Amino acid sequence: MRMYDIIDKKKRAASLTDDEINFAVDGFVGGKIPDYQMSALLMAIWFNGLDKRELTTLTTAMAHSGDMIDLSAIDGLKVDKHSTGGVGDKTTLIVAPIVAACGGKVAKMSGRGLGHTGGTVDKLESIPGYRTELTRQEFFDTVNNCGLSLIGQSGNLAPADKKLYALRDVTATVDSLPLIASSIMSKKLAAGSDCILLDVKTGSGAFMKTLDDAIALAETMVAIGEGAGRRTVALITDMDTPLGYGIGNSIEVAESMDVLKGRGAHDLTAVSIELAANMLYLVGKGTLDDCRKLVEKSIADGSAFETFCKMVKAQGGDDSVLRDYDNFDKAPFSREIFADGDGFVAKMNAELLGKVSVMLGAGRETKDSPIDFSAGIVLRKKFGDEVHAGDSLATLYASNEKLFVAAEENFRAAIELGDKPETRPLIFARVEAGHVERF
Ligand code: URA
């Protein structure tokens, strides 16, 4: 078998055999197939797509390229959650302890921030002492004792995806539905949970800018999950504006704790309740309505918050910062951004706001740059809010005052004042195997 012939076949939009797909993935991971040939195949897939069987074979080959994690040492059904990436998307910190407090098990490996989107692992590391690297046994013990554990992705989880993603990033082949679906689902299948809830974002801050594309991606990923024997549901949620008011690591941890304490931002709370209810539904805790009630109760009685604190302590973290946010290290500098006119917030470019938070130090400019956990943005106005000249639009936080110049300029470019905009739904659709419900 020759890689040349496989590339040529896909270039002509023919279907690849299972053997050909496995040959390409194994050869690439093993270093026998060079980047330039794999790049050509990725571009051929970008143009000509993959059919259902090819996609299943590719995803399975990618999942099996590294460790397939066996979670059977954890009692009960395990449920995982994946967001396709967003700005201010801190829902994992909220839904995982809620699900655990309601009797579900969450053994979750999360990623770091990349580009304009934040990552759960960076947010967790803003909690002093918190360990995102545990041994396999410590990970299992924490889930068995606390109902959840949130850790970083092990180095050998779907290495094919790691290598392919790096290549896609530099060959303009990231925005391909089959390549995104296989990338995400290979990691989810390898991570071992019985059930998977996918949060597929749509809007200006998301990979999938339109609702139809987001639904198509969700349907494809749900079919892959179910085909591999995992109960899988997807919600399509809005990422046209950031979720909640905070963007930045410790800022987002504090805002998440506010939701768990029952005093969270409306949009963040509403999306989190729906995500958590769907996770509980997947592990058999009743109808969606029953599950929503369980979620609300766990917030009202404080059990979700206490569950999170218990996990943080079990992983070496200082939970005093969660009880009193003043215990977090504070950014030494802040700048208030005031409105220079009247109107309504008619547009908020989520992607650009994510970039502003990176400029302030909250994210990485390159893979290995250090992170300033205290840096970021607290929005004072959100999409649809009325604004008068002189009102504060946001507070920026940084450890270096010079960063405010470019950050303020870009912040202003991200916000448009105008006529009162039409409200956008927070949740557009729900996708279960063979069924799409639009709201
Ligand atoms: N997230 C992933 O893990 N992979 C993609 O291809 C896109 C988003």
For residue range 394-428, what is the model confidence (pLDDT) as tens digits?
999 999 999 999 999 999 999 999 999 999 899 99
pTM: 0.93
d(CA 158, CA 63): 5
pLDDT-wise least confident of 28-32, 88-92, 223-227, 328-332: 88-92
d(CA 30, CA 65): 10
- Choose one of 183, 187, 200, 221 to mutate for the ligand 1 pocket test, by most ligand atoms within 8 angstroms of C-beta: 183
> From the CB of 37, is ligand 1 less than 6 Å away?
no
d(CA 126, CA 77): 30
Structure tokens belonging to residue 134: 């545990």
d(CA 59, CA 158): 10
Q: Is 21 exposed, middle or buried (0-12, 13-18, 19+ CB in 10 A)?
A: buried
Per-residue pLDDT, 204: 80
> From the CB of 185, is ligand 1 less than 6 Å away?
no
Structure tokens belonging to residue 413: 């470019």
Structure tokens belonging to residue 267: 């949009």
185 CA → ligand 1 middle, Å: 9
**What element of type H or E holds 99?**
helix 91-101
320 CA → ligand 1 middle, Å: 34
Per-residue pLDDT, 169: 79
> From the CB of 180, is ligand 1 less than 6 Å away?
yes
**168 vs 17, more confident:** 17
Mean pLDDT of 147-174: 90
Which atom belonging to ligand 1 lies closest to the Cα atom of 183?
4
> From the CB of 387, is ligand 1 less than 6 Å away?
no
- What are the pLDDT digits (tens) for 332-342? 999 999 999 99
Beta carbons of 427 and 274 less than 8 angstroms apart: yes
Structure tokens belonging to residue 153: 């992705």
Beta carbons of 371 and 390 less than 8 angstroms apart: no
d(CA 386, CA 20): 58
Active-site residues: which are they?
A: 82, 161, 168, 183, 187
Beta carbons of 86 and 239 less than 8 angstroms apart: yes
- What are the pLDDT digits (tens) for 66-112? 999 999 999 999 999 999 888 888 999 999 999 999 999 999 998 87
222 CA → ligand 1 middle, Å: 15
Alpha helices, DSSP H, located in 134-287: 136-146, 159-170, 177-191, 211-227, 249-260, 266-282
> From the CB of 183, is ligand 1 less than 6 Å away?
yes
**What is the DSSP-derived secondary structure letter of residue 340?**
S
User: Is the pLDDT confidence value at 367 over 70?
Assistant: no
Per-residue pLDDT, 86: 80
d(CA 40, CA 276): 41
- What are the pLDDT digits (tens) for 54-69? 999 999 999 999 999 9
Beta carbons of 86 and 242 less than 8 angstroms apart: yes
User: Is the pLDDT confidence value at 113 over 80?
Assistant: no
> From the CB of 278, is ligand 1 less than 6 Å away?
no
Name the pLDDT band for 170 (thresholds 50, 70, 90). Answer: confident
CA-based nearest residue to 7, from 24, 31, 29: 24
Asked whether the CA dihedral 162, 164, 170, 174 is positive or negative, the reply is negative
Question: What are the residues whose beta carbons fall under 8 Å from the beta carbon of 136, sequence distance 6 or more?
Answer: none
Mean pLDDT of 12-35: 97
Question: What are the residues whose beta carbons fall under 8 Å from the beta carbon of 278, sequence distance 6 or more?
Answer: 197, 233, 235, 288, 291, 430
- Work out the mean pLDDT of the chain and round it to a whole number: 95
Mean pLDDT of 211-234: 96
Question: What is the set of domains in the chain, with CATH numbers?
Answer: 3-49 (1.20.970.10), 79-156+164-323+427-438 (3.40.1030.10), 330-418 (3.90.1170.30)
Angle at 161 between CA 205 and CA 20, to 5 degrees: 125
- What are the pLDDT digits (tens) for 383-392? 999 999 999 9
Per-residue pLDDT, 63: 97
d(CA 216, CA 207): 13
Beta carbons of 93 and 305 less than 8 angstroms apart: no
User: Is the pLDDT confidence value at 114 over 70?
Assistant: no
d(CA 177, CA 46): 8
380 CA → ligand 1 middle, Å: 31
Which amino acid type is present at position 97? P
Beta carbons of 321 and 313 less than 8 angstroms apart: no
In whole angstroms, how far apart are CA 26 and each of 9, 18, 64, 156, 169? Answer: 18, 12, 10, 15, 20
- What are the pLDDT digits (tens) for 267-294? 999 999 999 999 999 999 999 999 999 9
d(CA 285, CA 282): 8
Mean pLDDT of 311-326: 97
Beta carbons of 143 and 12 less than 8 angstroms apart: no
User: Is the pLDDT confidence value at 116 over 80?
Assistant: no
Per-residue pLDDT, 207: 79
Per-residue pLDDT, 400: 95
- What are the pLDDT digits (tens) for 174-217? 889 999 999 999 999 999 999 999 999 998 878 788 999 999 99
Beta carbons of 100 and 106 less than 8 angstroms apart: yes
